[in-house]
Every structure is written in C-alpha cells, then in structure tokens.
C-alpha cells in the first residue's frame, strides 16, 4: 500500500557521506520519487485544484474486470453503499467517474468489480484530491489520460510530436507541460501523454503559428524533469527527449528496429587460475550495439576433449577437472540476435592435485531444529590474529584509533579459538556475518559484497581459513550458518559481473579521496597499496577520461553543487541508480519510494547497497555460482539477508532450487533436506500481515507459487505481486504443520514448502516482554508453512524489539524469562553475541562511521573471552581460566547452559508441534514429537501457573525440580514458578536436568 516512505538504516553510511556530504549535494535527481520541482516556469493552482469535484480515471487493463465500481467517501462524509457507483468507459484501458465533493477537499476511495474483488490499496484505501486523477496499478497521479489523444493536430497549425523516455526514471505516467513560443503555459500538470511503447510516452500538440515551444515533464505527482531548471526548447516535427538529451527530427523510437547483424566485441583480459582441480575463468564484459546476452566458454584439454558451455556472467567456476592437467580456455560473446564475437585470446592453466575432502568438510546434515544458534559479527567477536586488523578512512575521525579498535578486528582464528566458549554455552550452530570480500569505507559487517567468489582476507589467517573454521566447527559437532546476500552488492558493483567507473578529479580538492592508480595492484581489503599506504585503496575505481561504453549521464560535468569544504561536485562522481551508471541488465535503476510497495523489490535500499537485477540471468548465474562455492565447502545453511527485497517467485524459480540442487549433487538428498535456509523478511510491525501487504510479510516466503506466471522473470515478478495483492490476506494458504491434533503429533505436510524458512520478525518486534512475544508469535503460525523452523531472537545487529535502535535493556530477569520462553516454545532459539552477559545493553546498535564502535551494540567482545576455556559437552564446562571464566559465571550464562541441557534432552522441545487446547495459563502449552521409537510429550508453563486437561494419563517428571506427578484423570496443575523460571513436565521423562541456578530452580 502507498505510505510515507520509511528509510530504516540497515547498514552504515559510507564515510564520505558524513565527511563531505557528497550525496546530499549532488543536486535534485530528476525523476526520483520525492524530488521537488525546480522549474523556472511559474506553477500556479489550476482551476481543477479550486474545484469541488474530482474526475477519477481508473486503469482497467491489469485487472481485466468486466465492470468497475468506485466506492468512496468525501472527506468528512459518509461512504457510498457497496459496491459504489459504476464507472463509465473513458478511452482504451480507462474508465472514469466524476464525483461532486461539495465543500470537501478530497475523498477516500476503493475500487471493485461488483462481484467481491477489491482494490483497496492494500487495505489503506486511496486518498484522492480534486481535479483529474488517475489510479493505475496502485499509483495515483494527476492528469487526464483520455484528453485529446488524437495524433493529428489541426492541419491549419504547426505540429510537434514529442516522445519522452521514462526508462531511467521509472515513472508510471507522464504529462507534458508546455508553452508555444510567444504563448501561455498549459495549466499544471499539463496534458497527459499516451504510452507509445515500453519506456516511451508520446504526445502531439498543435502549436498554431509558433515553430517551437518551451516544455517540461512530470509524473503527475509533483516530480519534474525541467532540464535542470532550464526547461526544454522543442521544435516542430518529431523530437525525442531521453535522459535530458533532445534529438530533433528523430526517428520514431517505437518503430520496428532494423535487424541486428553486428557481433559483440571480443572478450578481453581473460584470466584463469587453478586451485586443486578447480579453475576459475574471468574476463572483462564485451560491448554490443544492443546487448550481450551470454558468453560461450570453450575448454580443451584433459580426457573429455573439447567442451563448450554457456555462461551468463563474466566468471565461470570449472570444477571436477583432472589432476595435474593442462587446460586451455577461450571465450566468445553472444548477443540477443545470435551474433557471435571472435574468440578471445586463449589462456592456459594447469590443475594441481585433488583437494583433500575430510569428513568434517561436509555439512552435518541433521535436523536444524535441534541446534540453538549463536549469532556473531565475526569482525567484532574475538581477535585471533592482529596482523589482519584493518581500519577504514574514518579510523581516526571515528575515535576507533584512540582505543586501538579497528573495525576489522575479530577473525576466523579468533572464532576457532573460542568455539569451546560457544559450545560451553550450549549452542550447536553459529551464524556468522557474510564472508565474501567487501568494499566500502565501513564494511566490517560484511553486507557490502564486492567479490562474491572470494573470502575476505581480513577474516582469514594462516591455518584459520574459512574452510578451517568450517572443519573445526564440524569436528566439535557444531554447524556453521553463513549469512548471504542475493539482493545487493557494494556501491562499487560486483567484481566479475559489473563494476562502475566513477569520475574523479585528482586535483587539490579531491586527491585526498581518489587514490593515484597503481598498475597491477588488485584491491583485496588486506594488502596495503604502496603509493597511498592504504588497504582501502580506490584508484582502480575511477577515471578522469570517459571510459569505453560509459552509460552515466553528463559524465564529468559539474553538478552545480559544492561539498561542505567548497569543493566542486561532478556528475558520475558517486554511484547512483538513476545516473545511468548501472546497466539494467545487472542492476535496478531506481530508489525505493514505498517500502511496502512493489518498488521495494526492484529499487535500491541505500546508496551503499547497489540493488541487483535478480530477474536477470547473468546476475542469477553469478550469484548461484558464487554461493555454490560455499556449499561445496560444507556450510550447513544460509541466513538470507534482505530476502523480502527479492520477489518470492524469483526465489522459488531460481535461487532456492539452485541451493537444493547443489547440496543434493554434492552431499545427497538427506543433507539437502536439512540444509537450513532462513530469510530476513523484515516487517517492523506488530500485526500478522505487514501493513496488509502479503508480499511483504515473512510467512509469505515459506510457500511455493500456486499458479503459473510468465516465462520472463521480470514479468513474472510483477504478475505474482499483483495476483497475491489482489487475493489479499484472507486467501493465503494455511498450515497445521506447527500444531498438534489434540494430543497427537502428525506428519507435517511440506509439499507446498518453498525451501525458505524465516526469522520470526513478529516475535522479535514484540519482545518488549515475553508474554507479548508469545501471544503475537503463535497468532501467525497458521499462515507459515512450518513455524517449528522459525528462527527466534530478541535483538540483533540491526534492531531491538519494537524497532528500537538500541540493544535490549529490559533487565536480567526479563532476559531470563525471554530465554525460558524461546528455549521451550516452537522455533529455534537464537542469541546475538554478548547477550549472555547483557553486553552493551541500551547502547545504540549502529551509529555509522562517525562514532567509535566501542560505544555501540557492535562493540568488540573479545576482552570478555580472554583466557582459556574447554567444553566437555553442549552446556558444560570442563575448565576455564582468566576473564572468560568470569564471563561463564554470569547468571544468564547459567540460565542458557541449563536451558540448552533441558532442550537437548527433550525432543518435543526441539521439533515438537504444540497446542493450547485444554490449557489455562498465560504462557502455557503442550508439545509432542513422534518418530520411530521416539515419543516425547511435554507440558510447559513459563513464569505463571497453568492447568492442562484432557492429557494422556501416566507418570510425568518435571525437568527443573525433578518432581514426579502421576496423572489418572487427564489433568495436571502447576503452581507459578516465578519470572525467568518454568516447569516442563515430561511424560515418562528423564527427571531433573542440570543444577539449580539463579532463575531455574
């Protein structure tokens, strides 16, 4: 639904934004939603704005309704009787209705087909004003789409035919505001233009005796393109206006194109490198007069002879080759017309010996619900190797240098060294932040991916590579869940796919920021470039000369703006989706305007997060190939960042099947079934459905599609979004997979499961207190495919409950209560590093690059881990010395250890379905899990008293106190154990588990 855009800060701004204010001074971005008009033309109220009526035009082509009704209420007035008033035909694909508003300044409106199918703007209704108003696919604009669309003007006057391109701006409608030379301007917003072909709008106007006109364009909602305030001067005849470029006597841009017979350029700079028996081949993108659609890679050598494969990106990973064998690779580029370039220069490479495949290099492959998760920001957890520590260009200014706290401080060696600490807490899975090579000035968290095929060297050490971490964890019976990003790269693009070149003037103004190019030096985040003395060197990213194939608009021209220091700002100096810098083939070209609208899945979230065109085959192939590498290393699952910003149909068609196929291929079907994928579908609300939008609700992503869409992924994404929004919340699939049938466990039905589980955002948002989280969490379980797989946490590296920007500070007893609930209720309990000692409670989680990390919720934790620790089991300590021994003696640590021991001993608490039928109590329920010879039945109450009726008779033992109760009448009652405490009565259970602590006793 249409709402005021929300802009949550997911990741830190780049240092340059805060230091030089560059983004804010680039000037108005024409066509970006929310930009104010800057036209020099006086803009005065039109007659329609002063009127007391509204003429509403509704677009019917998408809906294909046989009839359309307008159901409305003038501001301050009453609604019409359902279904409302029938709208009349206006022109092709449009119906209209004029409404008398009396003294009202607008109206609330919805539309329907007269048979119960509604468009109510996702539950928010449409707020409309006066005058001519269009409603097209959820977008409201101000124009008359049917006004004077006759392409033939009065033959007595001069005619001007104008084609206007909205391919870059993404406008859904366009108006032409003009004044013939010597004449008056049309009333704002001007005359509506008609759709001519994809990305183009057309309007023919009669200029009378005039031979030219002044013109500006707008989207009907106050966003203008007025040629940077100068307006356009357009002549008679046919003119095109595209990205502020005027072409006179132009060809019709919508006319059939001439056959394409020109082949792409030859792929350049082909390289091949071998690691064991795998080879990675990469090359620079080819150019074409239209577009390169794929590459043909030819391999010769070895026992298989000549092999030709189609590749969608400019990186190919060739695996399973013969040992110590020479191979030759060459590449050709192919365009959409089938034209093929000449083959590239061939490159030769020789493989090494076959890689060792230790048993610990394969995923553990067990049910993920058995494994509580400990979440760490690797770079902030524990420093095992100080030689790979690195700070960005704000290291001193932020205050990090003063405390010797570089942003990249923790590493894999530090995590390997402290796996026993995590195991001693009782956790058997570790979720780590993204491992791929990042690139920004503040990228320690890992979400600014640059080379998705390379592990960031700032995290690795000799003997402590990423593979070593995976193997070490598996040797201890612990899983590694890798945080992965499919939605976006860094603002510098993705190496091997597309990297933009920015315009940088290395004069006295900007030499501090743009480094001198260093031939042959390759950025890896760790190696210091000799000339600049920086590991965050950027000399390979910019050029003072316009690069070949440049698509960025107004390359190198001053914007007219100045930095805070008074430096001149230039176009193409900073990556932007609306600048033309990022080709649509690889990246989306718009900013998000509506966080619960379709554009949230097809636009940039933030200037540091360049939004992949995930519906493009080259992007899909690049990402699938990259993450195949980490699957092959034996990771146990993926936590998917920003999952909601990719259409569900794309996940279901491309990425999720690719994950399953790769795991199955490498490790077998059982390992694939237990490879745990859980997505971040961020919904910062307390209701079941995210502001009424099913497409933006977490549970939506757990389901397969239920109808066929276009074979084209981009078209399919729009079709699926529209279809599901129209169905609404009441017609979404439901599931009983999380619920007991009475007291009986039943085999869950996963036939409609998409392959993606979810973070339980609703419980997370409501963890202001445990009772609230419990009530809200279970309310959403019938619309989730299987909520027993939900990942449940109180706070994280982004937010605390209720979208708080600070780490949870509810108090130790509240934490103990939260933990008691999470470790016994359905779902997989997850803890953000340090919460076991209330680390940094109440501190701002992320304040960007302008303040010291030590003051935030992402502070360095290693000081609390100094010393030695050995775990004798999950939740038990064999020995500990130094500061870590003090850490392990904290009250919430004792709570965690015992809860983990209890959960591990009772299968119903790990994998069981639940029910509140026949249960009284505030946070009370029953759970059961049955498989083979296992039949685990548990009665749970957290904090308060409870009574269970209609339960099986038999002997129940309570795991906290060891109390034994014999039930003969189907009823059991428990007294309130107190805050942070609980009672778990297990039928034929194991008895008391663990020793009494501060809360569990």
DSSP 936: E
What pLDDT, on a 0 to 100 scale, did the predictor assign at position 278?
Answer: 82
The SS3 call for residue 900 is: helix
**What are φ and ψ of residue 100, in 5° steps?**
-85, 120
8 A C-beta contact, residue 826 and residue 780: no
Query: Can you tell me whether residue 218 is helix, strand or coil?
Result: strand
Q: Is 388 helix (H, G, I), strand (E, B) or coil?
A: helix
Measured CA to CA in angstroms, residue 19 lies from 68, 118, 153, 717 at distances of 54, 49, 55, 39
Q: How far apart are CA 282 and CA 324, in angstroms?
A: 21
Give dist(CA 881, CA 891) in Å, integer.
Answer: 18
The tokens for 277 are: 């028996």
DSSP conformation class of 385: -
Q: Quick one: pLDDT at residue 39?
A: 35
Interior angle at CA 622, CA 619 and CA 624, nearest 5? 105
Residues of the chain short of pLDDT 50, as ranges, are 1-51, 149-152, 358-359
Model-level pTM greater than 0.85? no
Q: How far apart are CA 390 and CA 826, in angstroms?
A: 41
The SS3 call for residue 340 is strand
R_g of the chain, CA atoms, integer Å: 31
* Gap between the Cα atoms of 464 and 455, Å rounded: 12
Q: Quick: pLDDT tens for 600-612.
A: 999 999 999 999 9
Q: Which one, of 330, 331, 309, 334, lies nearest residue 320 by Cα?
A: 309
Beta bridge partners of 247: 240
The size of the chain, in residues, is 1001
CA separation for the pair 412, 446 (Å, rounded): 13
Burial of 450 (0-12, 13-18, 19+ CB in 10 A): buried
In sequence order, what E strands does 428-478 have? 429-432, 436-438, 449-455
Q: What's the pLDDT at 680?
A: 97
Distance CA 291, CA 260 (A): 10
Give Dmax (Cα) for the chain. 101
Strand 53-59 to 131-136 pairing = parallel
Q: Do 352 and 380 meet the contact criterion of CB atoms below 8 Å apart?
A: no
């Amino acid at each position: 639904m249409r709402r005021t855009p929300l802009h949550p800060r997911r990741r830190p701004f780049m240092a340059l934004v805060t230091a030089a204010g560059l983004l804010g001074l680039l000037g108005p971005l024409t066509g970006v939603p929310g930009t104010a008009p800057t036209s020099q033309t006086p803009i005065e109220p039109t007659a329609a704005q002063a009127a007391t009526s509204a003429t509403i035009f509704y677009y019917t082509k998408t809906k294909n309704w046989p009839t359309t009704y307008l159901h409305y209420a003038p501001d301050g007035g009453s609604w019409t009787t359902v279904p409302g008033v029938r709208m009349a035909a206006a022109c092709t694909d449009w119906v209209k209705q004029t409404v008398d508003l009396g003294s009202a300044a607008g109206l609330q409106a919805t539309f329907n087909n007269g048979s119960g199918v509604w468009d109510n703007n996702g539950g928010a209704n449409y707020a409309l004003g006066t005058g001519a108003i269009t409603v097209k696919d959820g977008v409201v604009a101000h124009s008359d789409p049917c006004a004077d669309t006759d392409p033939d003007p009065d033959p007595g006057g001069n005619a001007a035919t104008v084609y206007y391109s909205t391919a870059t701006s993404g406008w859904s409608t366009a108006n032409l505001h003009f004044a013939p030379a010597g004449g008056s301007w049309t009333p704002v917003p001007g005359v509506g233009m008609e759709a001519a072909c994809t990305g183009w709008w057309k309007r023919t106007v009669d200029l009378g005796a005039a031979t030219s006109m002044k013109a500006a364009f707008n989207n009907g909602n106050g966003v203008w393109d007025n040629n940077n305030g100068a307006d356009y001067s357009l002549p008679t005849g046919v003119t095109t206006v595209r990205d502020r470029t005027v072409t006179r006597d132009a060809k019709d841009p919508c006319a059939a194109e001439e056959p394409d017979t020109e082949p792409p350029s030859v792929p350049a700079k082909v390289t091949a490198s071998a690691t064991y028996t795998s080879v990675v081949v990469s090359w620079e993108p080819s150019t074409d007069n239209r577009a390169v659609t794929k590459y043909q890679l030819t391999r010769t050598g070895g026992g298989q002879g000549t092999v030709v494969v189609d590749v969608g990106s400019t990186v190919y990973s060739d695996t399973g080759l013969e040992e110590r064998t020479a191979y030759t690779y060459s590449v050709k580029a192919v365009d959409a017309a089938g034209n093929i370039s000449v083959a590239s220069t061939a490159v030769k490479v020789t493989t090494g010996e076959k890689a060792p495949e230790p048993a610990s290099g394969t995923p553990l492959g067990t049910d993920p619900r058995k494994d509580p998760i400990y979440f760490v920001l690797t770079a902030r957890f524990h420093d095992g190797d100080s030689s790979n520590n690195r700070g960005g260009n704000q290291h001193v200014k932020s205050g990090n240098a003063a405390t010797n706290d570089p942003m990249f401080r923790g590493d894999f060696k530090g995590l390997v060294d402290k796996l026993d600490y995590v195991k001693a807490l009782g956790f058997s899975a570790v979720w780590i932040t993204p491992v791929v090579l990042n690139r920004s000035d503040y990228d320690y968290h890992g979400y600014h991916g640059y080379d998705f095929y390379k592990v960031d060297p700032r995290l690795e050490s000799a003997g402590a590579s990423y593979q070593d971490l995976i193997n070490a964890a598996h040797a201890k019976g612990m899983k590694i869940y890798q945080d992965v990003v499919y939605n976006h790269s860094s603002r510098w693009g993705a190496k091997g796919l597309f990297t933009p070149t920015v315009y940088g003037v290395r004069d006295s103004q900007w030499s501090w920021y743009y480094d001198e190019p260093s031939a042959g030096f390759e950025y890896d985040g760790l190696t210091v470039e000799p000339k600049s003395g920086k590991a965050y060197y950027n000399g390979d990213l910019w050029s003072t000369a316009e690069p070949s194939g440049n698509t960025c608009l107004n390359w190198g021209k001053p914007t007219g703006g100045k930095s805070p220091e008074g430096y001149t700002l230039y176009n193409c100096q900073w990556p932007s989706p609306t600048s033309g810098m990022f080709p649509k083939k690889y990246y989306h070209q718009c900013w998000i305007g509506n966080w619960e609208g379709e554009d949230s899945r097809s636009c940039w979230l933030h200037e540091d997060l360049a939004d992949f065109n995930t519906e493009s085959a080259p992007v899909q192939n690049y990402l699938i190939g990259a993450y195949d590498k980490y699957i092959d290393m034996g990771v146990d699952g993926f936590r998917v960042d920003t999952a909601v910003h990719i259409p569900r149909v794309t996940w279901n068609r491309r990425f999720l099947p690719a994950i399953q196929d790769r795991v199955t291929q490498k490790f077998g079907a059982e390992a694939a079934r237990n490879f745990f994928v859980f997505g971040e579908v961020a919904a910062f609300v307390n209701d079941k459905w995210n502001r009424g939008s099913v497409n933006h609700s977490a549970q939506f992503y757990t389901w397969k599609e239920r109808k066929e869409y276009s074979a084209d992924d981009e078209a399919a994404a729009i079709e699926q979004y529209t279809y599901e929004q129209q169905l609404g919340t009441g017609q979404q699939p439901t599931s009983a997979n999380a619920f007991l049938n009475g007291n009986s466990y039943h085999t869950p039905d996963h036939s409609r499961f998409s392959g993606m589980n979810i973070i339980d955002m609703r419980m997370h948002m409501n963890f202001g207190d445990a009772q609230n989280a419990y009530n809200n969490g279970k309310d959403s379980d019938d619309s989730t495919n299987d909520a027993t797989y939900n990942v449940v946490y109180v706070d994280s590296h982004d937010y605390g409950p209720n979208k708080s920007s600070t780490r949870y500070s509810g108090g130790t007893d509240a934490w103990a209560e939260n933990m008691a609930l999470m470790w016994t209720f359905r779902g997989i309990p997850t803890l953000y590093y340090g919460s076991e000692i209330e680390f940094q409670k109440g501190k701002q989680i992320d304040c960007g690059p302008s303040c010291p990390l030590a003051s935030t919720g992402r502070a360095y934790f290693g000081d609390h881990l100094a010393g030695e620790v050995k775990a004798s089991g999950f939740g038990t300590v064999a020995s500990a010395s130094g500061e870590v021994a003090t850490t392990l003696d904290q009250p919430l640590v004792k709570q965690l250890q015992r809860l983990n021991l209890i959960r591990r001993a009772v299968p119903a608490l790990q994998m069981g379905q639940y029910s509140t039928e026949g249960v009284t109590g505030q946070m009370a329920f029953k759970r059961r899990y049955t498989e083979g010879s296992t039949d685990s039945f548990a009665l749970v109450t957290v904090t308060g008293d409870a009574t269970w009726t209609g339960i099986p008779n038999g002997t129940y033992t309570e795991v906290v106190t060891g109390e034994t109760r014999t039930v003969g009448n189907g009823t059991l009652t428990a007294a309130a154990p107190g805050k942070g405490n609980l009672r778990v009565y297990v039928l034929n259970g194991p008895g008391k588990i663990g020793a009494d602590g501060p809360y569990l006793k």
